[in-house]
């Protein structure tokens, strides 16, 4: 199974499957295929290519009453674990919350939806196969994950105890604001020298809730941003340069779902 502690699957929880396919297909280049293994709730596999075996995640339709109207659309990242049940129990012990599960997915594995003590939601997956082993990011992949939280030191302590994550480096962003780069030790994934993701303490003027944000790698950042805005998306921050020579921008899709894009492209 995939190495414990690494992100292996990503879901977009949407109320409009058709609009989401059109938007992300054009902006990120994803392909979509219906999955027949569910319990009647529409679910689409999202892939980097036309081959469903190349999937990195899925789209799920949010229907009432399971998903009340006040719950916003969102992306959810799944982290590999050896035991979803043991992880859920440990989350409770560490001050987090079990939102849903653990529950079986036939022929796939066992999962649970959880939240850290600061309120950021994430999921864990006890997989029955090796299909989701993480590899270096290519076009259409998730290239980075980022936690915006009320206390990055406390949040890191939670995830370190749960998954064994380590500090790669603390970057001083100025004014005493620290951006912590994290890694998953022992992971076969070829993480870059700066790890697989970061976390930081939000400033008082930052909008939005405590949450994980997922970055999608695109071939031409500027072109993808133009497409996103033309299709009803909104650029929140950026584009801006980041270490490694690429650039990033934070956006919302037409439903208000927050995500980010990373790619090359002239300023």
Same domain, 243 and 165: yes
Provide the token pair at 72: 């916003």
Task: Inform me whether the pLDDT recorded for 153 exceeds 70.
Answer: yes
Is 135 a domain residue?
no
Of 65, 96, 127, which marks where a domain is finished? 127
Q: Which two tokens stand for residue 142?
A: 């998730």
What is the SS3 assignment for 258?
strand
Among the listed ranges 160-164, 188-192, 255-259, which one has the minimum average pLDDT value? Answer: 188-192
| Host domain of residue 77 | 7-127
* Whether the predicted pLDDT of 56 surpasses 70: yes
d(CA 60, CA 45): 9
Q: What is the SS3 assignment for 54?
A: helix
- 85-118 burial by CB neighbour count: b if 16+ within 10 A, else e? eebbebbeeeebeeeebbeebeebbbbbbbebbb
Is pLDDT larger for residue 179 or for residue 106?
179
Determine which of 50-64, 209-223, 239-253 has the lowest per-residue pLDDT on average: 50-64
Token digits of residue 57: 């995640």
- Sign of the C-alpha dihedral, residues 99, 181, 264, 256? positive
Among 78, 104, 127, which residue terminates a domain? 127
Angle in degrees, 0-180, between the axes of helices 17-27 and 221-230, rounded to the nearest 10: 150
- pLDDT score at 266: 54
Instruction: Please tell me whether residues 146 and 97 are part of one structural domain.
Output: no
Cα–Cα distance list, 227 to 29, 222, 258 (Å): 11, 9, 16
| 84-109 per-position pLDDT tens digit | 999 999 999 999 999 998 988 877 88
- Which CATH number does the domain housing residue 62 bear? 3.10.180.10
The per-residue pLDDT for 192 is 63
26-31 average pLDDT score: 96
Do 12 and 37 belong to one domain?
Answer: yes
Q: Are residues 154 and 235 located together in one domain of the fold?
A: yes
Q: Is the residue at 136 inside a domain?
A: no
Domain boundary among 98, 127, 156: 127
Both 99 and 185 in a single domain?
no
Q: pLDDT category, 22, cuts 50, 70, 90?
A: very high
């Amino acid at each position: 199974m995939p190495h414990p502690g690494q992100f292996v699957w990503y879901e977009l929880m949407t109320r409009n499957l058709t609009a989401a396919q059109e938007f992300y297909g054009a902006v990120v280049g994803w392909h979509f295929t219906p999955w027949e293994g569910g319990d009647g709730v529409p679910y689409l596999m999202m892939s980097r290519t036309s081959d469903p075996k190349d999937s990195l995640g899925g789209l799920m339709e949010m229907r009432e009453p399971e998903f009340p109207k006040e719950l916003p659309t969102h992306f959810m990242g799944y982290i590999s674990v050896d035991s979803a049940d043991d992880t859920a129990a440990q989350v409770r012990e560490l001050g987090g919350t079990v939102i849903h599960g653990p529950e079986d997915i036939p022929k796939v594995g066992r999962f649970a939806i959880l939240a850290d003590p600061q309120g950021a939601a994430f999921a864990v997956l006890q997989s029955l196969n090796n299909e989701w082993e993480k590899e270096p990011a290519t076009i259409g992949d998730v290239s980075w994950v980022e936690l915006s939280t009320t206390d990055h030191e406390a949040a890191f302590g939670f995830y370190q105890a749960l998954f064994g994550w380590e500090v790669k480096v603390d970057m001083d962003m100025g004014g005493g604001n620290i951006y912590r780069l994290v890694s998953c030790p022992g992971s076969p994934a070829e993480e870059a020298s700066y790890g697989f993701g970061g976390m930081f303490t939000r400033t008082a003027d930052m909008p939005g809730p405590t949450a994980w944000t997922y970055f999608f790698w695109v071939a031409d950042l500027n072109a993808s941003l133009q497409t996103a805005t033309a299709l009803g998306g909104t650029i929140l921050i950026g584009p801006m340069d980041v270490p490694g020579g690429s650039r990033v921008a934070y956006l919302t899709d037409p439903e208000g779902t927050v995500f980010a894009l990373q790619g090359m492209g002239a300023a």
